[in-house]
Homo-oligomer: A and B are copies of this chain.
Amino acid sequence: MSNDNKSNASSRLSALNSQMPELSPSQLLHSYRNRSKVDRQGLYETFYGPKWEFRNKVYDIICNNSEKFSAPYIDEHDRERTRYAAFKELHFIQKSLNMGYAEYQKDPHAFSMTSNAVYSWSPAICVKYGVHFSLYGKTLMNLGTEKHLPYIYRMMKLEDIGSFGLTEMGHGSNVRGIKTTAIYDPQSNEFIINTPEEVDMKFWIGATAQLANMTVCWAQLYVEGKCHGVHAFLVPIRNKDTHRVMPGITVGDCGPKNGLDGIDNGFMIFHNVRIPYDNLLDKFSQIENGKFKTWIESDDKRFGFQMASLSGGRVQVACNSNQNSIIAVAIAGRYSTIRKQFGAPGKPEQPIIEYPLTQYRIIPNVATAIVLQLSTITLSILWDENQKHLLDVKNTLINELHAISSAIKAISTWTAQRIITESRQILGGHGFSTFNRFGQLYNDNDVNVTWEGDNNVLLQQTGKFLLDSAKKLMKGKKLPFKCTSYISLDPAEGQQSELNSNEDFFNQGKLLKALQWRVNLLLQKTGLKMQEYMQVSKNGWDAFNNAQPFYSVELAKAFGDTWSAEQAIETISKVQNPENKRVLSDFVTLYLLETINKDIGNFRFGGYINCQQYEQIRSSILKLCNKLKDEFIAVLDALAPPDFILQAPFGASDGDIYNRYIGLIYSAKSTFKRPDWWKEVHKAHKKYHFEIDA
A186 to B555, CA, bound (A): 73
Per assembly, the copies of the chain total: 2
List residues of A (424-451) whose CB comes within 8 Å of B's CBs: 424-425, 428-435, 438-440, 442-443, 446-447, 449-451
Among the listed B424, B428, B545, which residue makes an inter-chain contact with A356, where contact means beta carbons less than 8 Å apart? B545
- Of the candidate stretches A279-287, A386-394, A501-509, A662-670, the one touching chain B is A662-670
A104 to B606, CA, bound (A): 59
Residues of B within 8 A of A252 (CB): 665-666, 671-672
A9 CB–B CB distance under 8 Å: yes
Among the listed B185, B344, B433, B676, which residue makes an inter-chain contact with A254, where contact means beta carbons less than 8 Å apart? B433
Contact, CB under 8 Å: A668 / B256: yes
Question: In chain B, what residue has the closest Cβ to A664?
Answer: B255
A100 CB–B CB distance under 8 Å: yes
Residues of B within 8 A of A447 (CB): 429, 432
Looking at the assembled complex, report how far the CB atom of A277 sits from the nearest CB atom of chain B, in whole angstroms.
Answer: 15
Looking at the assembled complex, report how far the CB atom of A224 sits from the nearest CB atom of chain B, in whole angstroms.
Answer: 10
A177 CB–B CB distance under 8 Å: yes
A421 CB–B CB distance under 8 Å: yes
Can you report 11 A-B residue pairs in the complex whose CB atoms are below 8 A from each other?
A5-B185, A5-B192, A12-B222, A88-B680, A94-B688, A174-B349, A254-B433, A257-B439, A258-B424, A264-B675, A356-B545
Contact, CB under 8 Å: A658 / B173: no
A486 CB–B CB distance under 8 Å: no
- Given known A101-B692, A618-B550, A690-B98, contact A670–B80 (CB-CB < 8 A): yes
Looking at the assembled complex, report how far the CB atom of A378 sits from the nearest CB atom of chain B, in whole angstroms.
Answer: 27
Residues of B within 8 A of A577 (CB): none
Contact, CB under 8 Å: A102 / B158: no
A553 to B356, CA, bound (A): 12
Among the listed B211, B255, B665, B690, which residue makes an inter-chain contact with A434, where contact means beta carbons less than 8 Å apart? B255
Among the listed B91, B173, B432, B541, which residue makes an inter-chain contact with A450, where contact means beta carbons less than 8 Å apart? B432
A172 CB–B CB distance under 8 Å: yes
Residues of B within 8 A of A307 (CB): none
Among the listed B169, B345, B349, B456, which residue makes an inter-chain contact with A357, where contact means beta carbons less than 8 Å apart? B456
A152 to B196, CA, bound (A): 64
- Given known A187-B2, A199-B658, contact A13–B181 (CB-CB < 8 A): yes
A489 CB–B CB distance under 8 Å: no
Contact, CB under 8 Å: A622 / B198: no
Of the candidates A197, A244, A344, A606, the one having the most CB atoms from chain B within 10 angstroms of its own CB is A344
A84 CB–B CB distance under 8 Å: yes
- Of the candidate stretches A38-46, A399-407, A476-484, A597-605, the one touching chain B is A597-605
Looking at the assembled complex, report how far the CB atom of A267 sits from the nearest CB atom of chain B, in whole angstroms.
Answer: 7
Looking at the assembled complex, report how far the CB atom of A445 sits from the nearest CB atom of chain B, in whole angstroms.
Answer: 11
Residues of B within 8 A of A94 (CB): 688
Residues of B within 8 A of A76 (CB): 256
Cβ contacts A1-21/B at 8 Å (1 or 0 each): 110011011001100110000
A597 to B147, CA, bound (A): 58
Contact, CB under 8 Å: B611 / A600: no
Among the listed B157, B169, B222, B454, which residue makes an inter-chain contact with A685, where contact means beta carbons less than 8 Å apart? B157
Among the listed B100, B342, B688, which residue makes an inter-chain contact with A158, where contact means beta carbons less than 8 Å apart? B688
Among the listed B1, B204, B341, B682, which residue makes an inter-chain contact with A240, where contact means beta carbons less than 8 Å apart? B682
A213 to B685, CA, bound (A): 13
- Range, interface on chain A: 35 or more
A604 to B444, CA, bound (A): 39
Looking at the assembled complex, report how far the CB atom of A672 sits from the nearest CB atom of chain B, in whole angstroms.
Answer: 5
Looking at the assembled complex, report how far the CB atom of A620 sits from the nearest CB atom of chain B, in whole angstroms.
Answer: 12
Residues of B within 8 A of A34 (CB): none
Residues of B within 8 A of A187 (CB): 2, 5
- Given known A357-B549, A434-B255, contact A267–B173 (CB-CB < 8 A): no
A457 to B692, CA, bound (A): 39
Of the candidates A13, A243, A684, the one having the most CB atoms from chain B within 10 angstroms of its own CB is A684
Contact, CB under 8 Å: B600 / A675: no
A122 CB–B CB distance under 8 Å: no
A222 to B10, CA, bound (A): 12
Question: In chain B, what residue has the closest Cβ to A256?
Answer: B434
Residues of B within 8 A of A243 (CB): 674, 678-679, 681-682
- Given known A5-B187, A76-B256, A255-B434, contact A681–B211 (CB-CB < 8 A): yes
Contact, CB under 8 Å: B256 / A100: no
A637 to B488, CA, bound (A): 49
Residues of B within 8 A of A685 (CB): 91, 157-159
Cβ contacts A138-161/B at 8 Å (1 or 0 each): 000000000001001100111101
- Given known A159-B685, A434-B255, contact A549–B84 (CB-CB < 8 A): no
Looking at the assembled complex, report how far the CB atom of A585 sits from the nearest CB atom of chain B, in whole angstroms.
Answer: 23
Looking at the assembled complex, report how far the CB atom of A150 sits from the nearest CB atom of chain B, in whole angstroms.
Answer: 10
A272 CB–B CB distance under 8 Å: yes
Q: Besides the contacts A101-B694, A256-B434, what 15 more A-B pairs have beta carbons closer than 8 Å?
A: A5-B187, A9-B192, A84-B676, A101-B690, A102-B692, A149-B694, A153-B694, A173-B341, A253-B672, A258-B431, A425-B449, A425-B455, A431-B450, A601-B614, A606-B611
Residues of B within 8 A of A670 (CB): 79-80, 253
Looking at the assembled complex, report how far the CB atom of A568 sits from the nearest CB atom of chain B, in whole angstroms.
Answer: 24
A297 CB–B CB distance under 8 Å: no
- Given known A600-B604, A674-B243, A678-B243, contact A428–B172 (CB-CB < 8 A): yes
Residues of B within 8 A of A673 (CB): 253
A372 to B355, CA, bound (A): 30
- Given known A443-B439, A688-B95, contact A100–B192 (CB-CB < 8 A): no
A225 CB–B CB distance under 8 Å: yes
Cβ contacts A293-333/B at 8 Å (1 or 0 each): 00000000000000000000000000000000000000000
